[in-house]
Amino acid sequence: MALKSWVESANDPATDFPIENLPFGVFRGAGQDGPRIGLAIGDHIVDVAGCYDAGLLEAVDELVQAACTAPGLNELMALGNDAARAVRQTVAGMLRAESLMRSELEPHLVPMAHTEMLVPCDIGDYTDFYAGIHHATNVGSMFRPDNPLLPNYKWVPIGYHGRSSSIVVSGTAFRRPHGQTRPDPNAPPQFGPTRRLDYELEVGLFIGRGNELGERIPIERAEEHAFGLCLVNDWSARDIQTWEYQPLGPFLAKNFATTISPWIVTLDALEPFRAAPFARAQGDPQPLPYLAGSQRGGFDLTLEVWLRTPAMSAPVRLSRGSFGGMYWTMAQLVAHHASNGCNLEPGDLLASGTVSGETKESRGSLLELTWGGKEPLTLPNGEQRTFLEDGDEVIFRAYCEREGYARIGFGECRGVVLPAT
């Protein structure tokens, strides 16, 4: 049964942010000096630091209260998921329709339209995985037709260390990058603006409580280290990538910009939307014990990609897929990342890898949708696209829906491509 709030917009069945969601973010309001921690509710933000100032968080531990006044989420993340749970539950209680606290809490609600969202924490390290087997197979068959899925794929979650300094929040425009490419294998390489700019639809996981250097995270405890999920656009320059990726993997084809959605949806909010544990195909190896254990399923999260070209007034949907069919769960990615004793820190970001399904309409990149540029997309207004053009805006959306539960949404992850300088 959906809970009711006195914030009317939170009761709209189409909202991303009902009272059951209350995702964490960091915002700057009009007339406020510093960034502040907030919780999304309908089309408003609860100013959590303001709640602290007004003494509305006294039910939670003092350390947790202090963490709520920080300009980012790292301190709260470090205190573990019980801390975040206590803050959400306390605020949720005051937001309930029947709460007697409305008049106390209402002054600390800010309309989203009057705020600017920021990157929600200091992201010390960023790792990008490759957990979608359909994406790995599609890309592999374009880059290596004779050998699409490498023999390690079903045994070890593949990933690489990305760059956190170029992670930007939704709504930040970025320039088309320059790079070295070799379009003609019989001619020398060239340097110039990428001609094959793409997006990658991914889900990100923010680490909450970390692990000490040298300590592993058992798979059974991996989710205790997950503060929550967001959307990630791993912008990719395919022509640069093709030329540079061997033998050490992605580098300048990826690190010019990565866009994240501003709200971090907690695993508590997603719990009603568990997917059945992933069933590996017959003949596939079972995960090694450190990746198996008592793992639970992932989440039945629906993901959409929308495109708005400069000639369009409204965006069009390019694809829709599900996060439920990933080959490795986020818990497995966390356990694997720490399996050598690598220390994960509060605020670290782990991205899933491109989420693509079996069908064409569920492919999470233009590389796959246009099959390497060979099958251009025709948009409803007659325009064609193989890769992104200047002025194009890519918008990701995600949500969980299940009969009997309030819809849980992620908000949007947007970015516009500016011309190269």
Report the interface residues with Ca ion, using CB under 5 A: 128, 200, 234
249 token code pair: 């993997």
> Residue 149 is which amino acid?
L
Which CB atom, from 25 or from 353, has the smaller least distance to Ca ion? Answer: 353
273, 403 in Cβ contact below 8 A? no
Q: Determine the Cα–Cα distance for residues 124 and 3; give it in Å rounded to an integer.
A: 37
Instruction: Tell me how far, at minimum, the Cβ of 351 lies from Ca ion, in Å.
Output: 6
Task: Locate all alpha helices (DSSP H) within 99-256, ordered by sequence.
Answer: 102-105, 133-143, 238-244
Which CB atom, from 90 or from 258, has the smaller least distance to Ca ion? Answer: 258
Instruction: Tell me how far, at minimum, the Cβ of 228 lies from Ca ion, in Å.
Output: 20
Instruction: Tell me how far, at minimum, the Cβ of 234 lies from Ca ion, in Å.
Output: 4
Q: Which residue is nearest to Ca ion (CB)?
A: 234
Report the helix count and the strand count for the chain, using DSSP H and E: 10, 23
Q: Give me the DSSP letters along 177-197.
A: PEEEE-SSTTS--EEEE-S-E
> Residue 88 is which amino acid?
R
Counting Cβ atoms within 10 Å, is residue 405 exposed (0-12), middle (13-18) or buried (19+)?
A: middle
Instruction: Tell me how far, at minimum, the Cβ of 180 lies from Ca ion, in Å.
Output: 20
Q: Determine the Cα–Cα distance for residues 68 and 66; give it in Å rounded to an integer.
A: 5
Instruction: Tell me how far, at minimum, the Cβ of 405 lies from Ca ion, in Å.
Output: 30
Confirm whether 114 is a catalytic residue.
Answer: no
Instruction: Tell me how far, at minimum, the Cβ of 354 lies from Ca ion, in Å.
Output: 5
Which CB atom, from 201 or from 331, has the smaller least distance to Ca ion? Answer: 201
Which CB atom, from 254 or from 397, has the smaller least distance to Ca ion? Answer: 254
Strand partners, 413: 396
Which CB atom, from 119 or from 350, has the smaller least distance to Ca ion? Answer: 350
Q: Determine the Cα–Cα distance for residues 363 and 260; give it in Å rounded to an integer.
A: 19
322 token code pair: 């599900």
419, 174 in Cβ contact below 8 A? no
Which CB atom, from 35 or from 325, has the smaller least distance to Ca ion? Answer: 325
Coil vs helix vs strand at 24: strand
Which of 44, 135, 336, 337 does the annotation list as catalytic?
A: 135
107, 49 in Cβ contact below 8 A? no
Q: Determine the Cα–Cα distance for residues 244 and 51; give it in Å rounded to an integer.
A: 50
Catalytic residue IDs: 135
